[in-house]
Chains A and B, each alone.
Chain A
Amino acid sequence: AHDFGERNNDSEDAELRFVTCQALWNEIKWETEKIQENLNKQLFDNLVNFLRRSHSESQEKTTKWTCRMKSREIPTAALVLGVNVTDHDLTFRSLSEVLQNNITPYIALLEAKDCPGIKNLMQKLMGQLMNCYVDVDSLEDEDYVQVSQNRIRCSMTSLINWYESVTKRMALKKTETPSKKRTSSSRHWQCPPVVVIFKDMESFTTKVLQDFIVISSQHIHELPLVLIFGIATSPMIIHSLLPHSVSSLLCIELFQSLSCKEHLSTIIEKLLLTAQLPFKLGEKVLQVLINIFLYHDFSVQNFIKGFQLCIVEHFYSQPLSVLCCKLVDAKKRVNSLSHDQCENIRRLPSFRRYVESQVSEKQIALLTADDFLKEVIQKLLEDLHVYHENYVSVLRCLHVFTSSLPKYPLGKQIRELHCACLENRVWETEEYESSPPPPPFVLIPLMLNKSDLVTMLQQCVEIFVSSSGKEFGKTVEELKEFLTQFQKLEAEAFQERDVSVSSQKELQKKTDLYHLQKTLLELKESRRSKKLTKFEMLRFEVVDYIDSLVRKYLVPADHKTLHEIVYFNTASVLRGHLNAAPRIALHTALNNPYCYLKNQALKGDGGSISNKAPDICIVYKLHLECGRLINLVDWLEAFSTVVMAVEGPDAASSDQVDDIIHARFIRAVSELELLGFIKPSKQKTDHVARLTWGGC
C-alpha cells in the first residue's frame, strides 16, 4: 500500500514523505498494540490463572475420596468477546502467545470453517498440536516426519500416545540437563495442559462440538485438556448449543473481555488527543470513522485500519505533509524546502488568510521571499504545536464540566466533545449556549453542590499540572485560587453557623413575642440569601473563567494557519474507500460510463442514450424504461434503433436486424443477467423479468 515513489508523479519530497509516513505509522501501530496489550492484560491474567488451577488440582490429589467420586469435567473457559468479530483474531493471537509463554506449548486454534465434521476437527487439532512443539532438537525432527506421514490416522488414541511420548521426553530431558532446562521447567510444569481454542463457538455445528466433548471427556485422565470457547454473543449460547448431557461434562468459567467501545475511547484518547503525534484527523473524517464503528461493526481493528488509510492518503495527496512530523524535524525540513513547495504553502487557503491579515510590506515579503517565508513558517508551526498542547488540556477540562450536564448536550464521551470543538467554535454552538440559559454554564453549577464543583476544579488542576503546555502555570494558580476561596467560603459558613447558634442562644433569652418573630425572620433571610449569593458569585466567576479558557484555546483547527499540513480532512475519499456502496457504483457505471471509462466521446450525455456507450449501458438504460416484464423483441428493436442511429433514419427503420447487432444484444442481455438485474421469466416465453426497482 505504500508504493509512494511510483505512484507519485509530482516528485515533491515523495521519498521523504514516504519515509515519514512509514515512521509515523509504525509509531501508531506500536502504540495501539501497547494499548491493546494493556487492556487485555487483566483478562489474560485471569485466564492464565484459570488454566494453572484447572489441572494442577487434579494432578495433586487424585487419591482423595472426593476426587475419585466426582466425575471429571473438562475445564472450559467461556470467553465473551463481543460482536466485533474482526478484532477477535488479534485477541486470540496474543492470547495464544501469552499462553505459550506462560502455560503450555500445546495450543490449538480451531475455526468453525475448517471443521465441518469431527474428522476434520481432529485432523486440524492434531496437525496443530504436533507441529507446535517448542524446543525442537534434531532428533525430534525425525519423529516429526514420521508423525506427519501417518497423520491420516488421527484418533484420540494417537493423540494420547503422542502426548505421553512428548511429556516423557520432556521429563527425560529435564533429568538429563537440569541446569539448562531450568527456565523452561519453571514455565511449563511436568504435564502441561493441552489448550484447544474454539475461535467462533457459535458457528461450529452442534454435532461436532458434542462429539468432540464426549470423546475428550473420556480421555481427560490421560490428556489434560482445556477448552476455550470464543463467544461473540452471550454465554447462553453454550446451553442452547449443547444438551445438558454434554454440558454436564464441562466445567465452565466465564471471562468477559473489555467492551469495544471502551477500547475505542482509549485508542482515541491515546492517538488523537495528544500533542505527541503530529498527524491529526479532521472533524468530518473522524466522524466518518466513528460512524462506521458505531453503526456498522464495532470493530476497533477496522477503525485503526481506517486511521492508517487516512495517514497514507494524507501523505500521498498532500505534498506539504513532509512537514507533518515532530516539531524539531519539521523546523529542519522547513529550511530545506524547495521553491515549489514554498509556492504550495502560499497556495494554502489558511496561509492566504494569514497573509491577508498582515500589513502590506510583510505581505509582499511573504509572497516573494522564500527565506522570510520559511522563518514565518517555523514560527507558525510552533504556534500550531503549542495550540495542540493547550487544546488537549482545555478540552479535557471542559469535558470534566460537560460530562456532568444533564442530558449531555455536548456529548458524554470526550470524542464527541472533540468533534464538536473541531467542527466550529464551540462557544457559538447552540448546545453550548442553550443548555445553560443566557450566560453559558450557569445551569451546570446550579445543578452542582459545592463539593462536586470543588472536585471538578481539582480535576482540572490535575489535568493542567500534568499537561505539557507552558502557559498553564497561571491557569493552575488561578484555579487554585478559586479552590482556596471555596475553602474559605466553607470556613465562613462554619462561622456563620456559629453565629446563628449564638443568636439562637440569644433568642432563648428573649421572651417578647414580637422580637422573637422579627429575629426569626431576619435569621431566615440572612441564611437563605447571604450564604447562597456568596457561593453563587464565586460560582459565576469560575464559570466565566472556564468560559474564557474555552474561548481562548478551543479554537477550531481550521481557523489555524497551516492546519492543512497536519489535518486530514477529505472525508469523501475515506467514505468512498471504507463505506463502499456496490449498488450505487454499479448504477453509476452503467448509467454514466464516462465516470469510469474517461472516454471523451461518452461525456455529457444527459438524458438521451448515446450510441457510443458500451452495449451493456445501452441495454441497461433501455431496460430502466420498461416495466416488470420486458419483451425481448421490443427490447432488441429499441437497441438496434439506438445503435443504428448514426447511419441515418432509413437504415434504422429497416425491419431486418443485423446479425452482429443481434449478437451484441444477446451478449449485453446475458451480462445484465449475470449482474442480477434480470432473470428469465416463466410466465411468458419471450420475456424476461426485471429484478430491481419495481421488479418482482
Chain B
Amino acid sequence: MPNLEHPVYPAATLLHLESLVPCRESQVSMLLSIFGERQQFSFPSIFIYGHTSSGKTYVMQTLLNTLQLPHVFVNCVEYFTSRLLLEEILSQLQNCSSETEQTSHVPCETFNDFVRLFKQAVASQELKDQTLYIVLDRAEQLREMEANILPAFLRLQELTDRNVTVVLLSEIVWELFRPNTGCFEPFTLYFPDYSIGHLQKILSQNHPPEYSADFYAAYINILLGVFYMVCRDLKELQHLAALNFSKYCEPVVRGEANERDTRKLWKNIEPHLKKAMQTVYLREVSSSQWERLQCDNGEPGQLKGLSAHTHVELPYYSKFLLIAAYLASYNPVRTDKRFFLKHHGKIRKTNFMKKHEKTSNHLLGPKPFPLDRLLAILYSIVDNRVAPTANIFSQVS
C-alpha cells in the first residue's frame, strides 16, 4: 500500500505526506526520486505543468514543507519585473537561512548580481550541504521578462556552482517556453487532471467536524453530479461545496430527515444547486449575497444578477453616432447611395452583386471606414440638422 518509499525519510513522515496529497502519489514519488537525498545534487531544473488546479502548487508546497527541505517559493505574477523577482528570491533566502539576523534590503539589478549575491547567501549559511529548491510558480510570466532570465534560471546550478534546483510550475507546455536560441532542457513532469473519482475523494476529505464523513461524501456526490459537467476546477468546486452545504443540512437540522435519508436530501438540494449553477458559478450573484439569500430563504428572483442591468442610456447624438459607425463598418460603400439618399434612382437588379452578398457581412467582421463617411451617414440618419460641433467630434475621438 505505501506508495512512497524513500531511504532517507522516516516512514511516518512519508505516510503523513501521502495523506496530505491524495491522488498525486505517483507524481510525488517521482519527485522524491529525482530529489534524492538531502545533500545529493539533484536535476538542475524541473518543469511541472498541468491544467488549472491540478495541484501543482499545493503538491510542491506540502512536499517541501513536510520534508523540511530548504526552499524559496515565488509567484512570478506577483513579482512582475525581473528585478523584483530576483530581489524577492534573495530576501526569502535570507529569511529562511537566518531568522534572527534582519539584513537590509539588497538591490539586485541584473542576473549577474543575482548569481554573486546568491553565492554569498548560500555560502554564509548552513545550506551548503543541502539542495536548495527555488520554486517559480506561474512560470509563463518569465517569458515576458528579459530574454536571459529563463535560460539562466534553467542552469542556475551550473552558473552558481551550488547545490540548487529550480522548479518551474506552469499551466502551459514546455514547448511554448523554449526560446529560439536554445537552452538547457529541464526535466518535464506532467500533472494530469483529476478525474471525477479523484475529485470526489479529495473533496470528501475535508468534511466539517459536525457531520460524519459519509454524510458529506454523499453531498459531494450530488454536487459533482450537478457541477461536473461545467466545472472541473477543484478550488471552485470546493468553494461551491462550502457555500451550499448549509442548505443541504437544513432538513437534518430541522429534524425532517436523518443523515442517511439521501433521497430526501437530494430532492431538497437539487433545484437549489441548479440555481446556484446559473448564478453564483457565473458570478452573476456574489457569494456573500448568495449566503445572505440562503439565510433569508428568499427567492433568488428578487436578486438581480449583473447581467440584468444591460440597459444603457445614451445621449441622443451618441446613439446616432453609434448607429452610424455600425452602418459604416458593415455596409459596403456602394450601398450608401442607395440607403441614405432620398432620390437615388432605380435600383438596378444585378446578378453579380448577389453572388458576394450571400455571405453575410457580419461574418466578415467590421471593416474600417473614413471619418467623413461616418459623419455623412450621421447627418443623413438624424432627422433634423446637426451642427458639426466640437461636442460631436470629441465623442468620435
C-alpha gap A131/B88 in the complex (Å)? 24
A66-B242, A70-B287, A295-B315 known; A218+B78 contact, CB < 8 A: yes
> Do B313 and A294 have beta carbons less than 8 Å apart?
no
A71-B238, A215-B77, A582-B390 known; A248+B283 contact, CB < 8 A: yes
Does A581 sit within 8 A of B, measured CB to CB?
yes
> Do A157 and B88 have beta carbons less than 8 Å apart?
yes
User: Shortest distance in angstroms between B244's beta carbon and chain A's nearest beta carbon?
Assistant: 10
Contact check: which of B241, B312, B393 meets A582 at CB < 8 Å?
B393
Which residues 104-157 of A sit at the B interface, judged by CB distance below 8 A?
Answer: 118-119, 150, 153, 155-157
Does A519 sit within 8 A of B, measured CB to CB?
no
In the complex, which residues of chain A have a beta carbon less than 8 angstroms from the beta carbon of B313? 82-83, 259-261, 298
In the complex, which residues of chain A have a beta carbon less than 8 angstroms from the beta carbon of B317? 295-296
Bitwise, A257-296 to B at CB < 8 A (1) or not (0) is 0011100000000000000000000000000000011111
User: Shortest distance in angstroms between B249's beta carbon and chain A's nearest beta carbon?
Assistant: 11
In the complex, which residues of chain B have a beta carbon less than 8 angstroms from the beta carbon of A582? 390, 393
Which residues 344-397 of B sit at the A interface, judged by CB distance below 8 A?
Answer: 387-393, 395
Does A252 sit within 8 A of B, measured CB to CB?
yes
In the complex, which residues of chain B have a beta carbon less than 8 angstroms from the beta carbon of A298? 313-315
C-alpha gap A53/B316 in the complex (Å)? 40
A69-B242, A155-B78, A584-B388 known; A251+B287 contact, CB < 8 A: yes
> Do A236 and B81 have beta carbons less than 8 Å apart?
no
Write the chain B residue with the least CB distance to A252.
Answer: B286
Contact check: which of A73, A211, A218, A238 meets B306 at CB < 8 Å?
A238
In the complex, which residues of chain B have a beta carbon less than 8 angstroms from the beta carbon of A215? 75, 77-78
> Do B208 and A218 have beta carbons less than 8 Å apart?
no
Contact check: which of A70, A261, A295, A583 meets B316 at CB < 8 Å?
A295
User: Shortest distance in angstroms between A602's beta carbon and chain B's nearest beta carbon?
Assistant: 26
> Do A66 and B390 have beta carbons less than 8 Å apart?
no
> Do B84 and A236 have beta carbons less than 8 Å apart?
no
A119-B81, A579-B391, A582-B393 known; A83+B307 contact, CB < 8 A: no
In the complex, which residues of chain A have a beta carbon less than 8 angstroms from the beta carbon of B282? 239, 244
Does A377 sit within 8 A of B, measured CB to CB?
no
User: Shortest distance in angstroms between B145's beta carbon and chain A's nearest beta carbon?
Assistant: 12
C-alpha gap A83/B238 in the complex (Å)? 39
> Do A69 and B238 have beta carbons less than 8 Å apart?
yes
In the complex, which residues of chain A have a beta carbon less than 8 angstroms from the beta carbon of B314? 83, 298
Does B245 sit within 8 A of A, measured CB to CB?
yes
Which residues 294-338 of A sit at the B interface, judged by CB distance below 8 A?
Answer: 294-298
Does B19 sit within 8 A of A, measured CB to CB?
no
Which residues 608-625 of A sit at the B interface, judged by CB distance below 8 A?
Answer: none
Which residues 305-358 of B sit at the A interface, judged by CB distance below 8 A?
Answer: 306-307, 309-318
C-alpha gap A665/B235 in the complex (Å)? 73
Does A409 sit within 8 A of B, measured CB to CB?
no
C-alpha gap A239/B233 in the complex (Å)? 18
User: Shortest distance in angstroms between A476's beta carbon and chain B's nearest beta carbon?
Assistant: 39
A: contact size bracket: 35 or more
Bitwise, A62-76 to B at CB < 8 A (1) or not (0) is 000110011101011
Does A250 sit within 8 A of B, measured CB to CB?
yes
Does A254 sit within 8 A of B, measured CB to CB?
yes
> Do A153 and B310 have beta carbons less than 8 Å apart?
no
A218-B75, A235-B306 known; A150+B105 contact, CB < 8 A: yes
In the complex, which residues of chain B have a beta carbon less than 8 angstroms from the beta carbon of A251? 286-288
Does B125 sit within 8 A of A, measured CB to CB?
no
> Do B246 and A66 have beta carbons less than 8 Å apart?
yes
User: Shortest distance in angstroms between B266's beta carbon and chain A's nearest beta carbon?
Assistant: 21
A70-B239, A83-B318, A211-B77 known; A234+B312 contact, CB < 8 A: yes
> Do B391 and A296 have beta carbons less than 8 Å apart?
yes
Does A413 sit within 8 A of B, measured CB to CB?
no
In the complex, which residues of chain A have a beta carbon less than 8 angstroms from the beta carbon of B289? 253
Max chain A CB contacts within 10 Å: which of B75, B77, B236, B395?
A: B77
Bitwise, B274-316 to A at CB < 8 A (1) or not (0) is 0000000011001111000000000000001011011111111
Max chain B CB contacts within 10 Å: which of A82, A218, A296?
A: A296
> Do A236 and B315 have beta carbons less than 8 Å apart?
no
In the complex, which residues of chain A have a beta carbon less than 8 angstroms from the beta carbon of B262? none
In the complex, which residues of chain A have a beta carbon less than 8 angstroms from the beta carbon of B75? 215, 218
> Do A579 and B389 have beta carbons less than 8 Å apart?
yes
A253-B289, A294-B316 known; A245+B52 contact, CB < 8 A: yes
Does A386 sit within 8 A of B, measured CB to CB?
no
Contact check: which of A155, A295, A581 meets B388 at CB < 8 Å?
A581
User: Shortest distance in angstroms between A123's beta carbon and chain B's nearest beta carbon?
Assistant: 11
Does B215 sit within 8 A of A, measured CB to CB?
no
Bitwise, A506-542 to B at CB < 8 A (1) or not (0) is 0000000000000000000000000000000000000
Does A247 sit within 8 A of B, measured CB to CB?
yes
C-alpha gap A119/B144 in the complex (Å)? 14
In the complex, which residues of chain B have a beta carbon less than 8 angstroms from the beta carbon of A579? 387, 389-391
C-alpha gap A155/B86 in the complex (Å)? 12
Which residues 386-402 of A sit at the B interface, judged by CB distance below 8 A?
Answer: none
In the complex, which residues of chain B have a beta carbon less than 8 angstroms from the beta carbon of A69? 206, 208, 238-239, 241-242
C-alpha gap A584/B309 in the complex (Å)? 40
Does A78 sit within 8 A of B, measured CB to CB?
yes
A253-B288, A579-B391 known; A236+B310 contact, CB < 8 A: yes
Does A59 sit within 8 A of B, measured CB to CB?
no
C-alpha gap A218/B80 in the complex (Å)? 14
In the complex, which residues of chain A have a beta carbon less than 8 angstroms from the beta carbon of B242? 65-66, 69-70
Does B243 sit within 8 A of A, measured CB to CB?
yes
> Do A580 and B389 have beta carbons less than 8 Å apart?
yes
A70-B239, A83-B315, A254-B306 known; A296+B80 contact, CB < 8 A: no
In the complex, which residues of chain B have a beta carbon less than 8 angstroms from the beta carbon of A254? 304, 306, 309
Contact check: which of B84, B283, B311, B387 meets A581 at CB < 8 Å?
B387
Write the chain B residue with the least CB distance to A122.
Answer: B80
User: Shortest distance in angstroms between B383's beta carbon and chain A's nearest beta carbon?
Assistant: 12
Does A214 sit within 8 A of B, measured CB to CB?
yes
Question: 4 shortest A-B CB distances, which residue pairs?
Answer: A69-B242, A580-B390, A65-B208, A235-B306
Q: Knowing that A248-B233, A254-B309, A584-B388 are A-B contacts, what are 6 other residue pairs whose CB atoms are under 8 Å apart, sorted by A's residue number?
A: A66-B242, A69-B242, A239-B283, A259-B313, A296-B315, A298-B315
Report which B residues bind A (CB closer than 8 A): 52, 75, 77-81, 84, 87-88, 105, 206, 208-210, 233, 235-236, 238-239, 241-243, 245-246, 282-283, 286-289, 304, 306-307, 309-318, 387-393, 395
Report which A residues bind B (CB closer than 8 A): 53-54, 57, 65-66, 69-71, 73, 75-76, 78, 80, 82-83, 118-119, 150, 153, 155-157, 211, 214-215, 218, 233-236, 238-239, 244-245, 247-248, 250-254, 256, 259-261, 292-298, 579-584
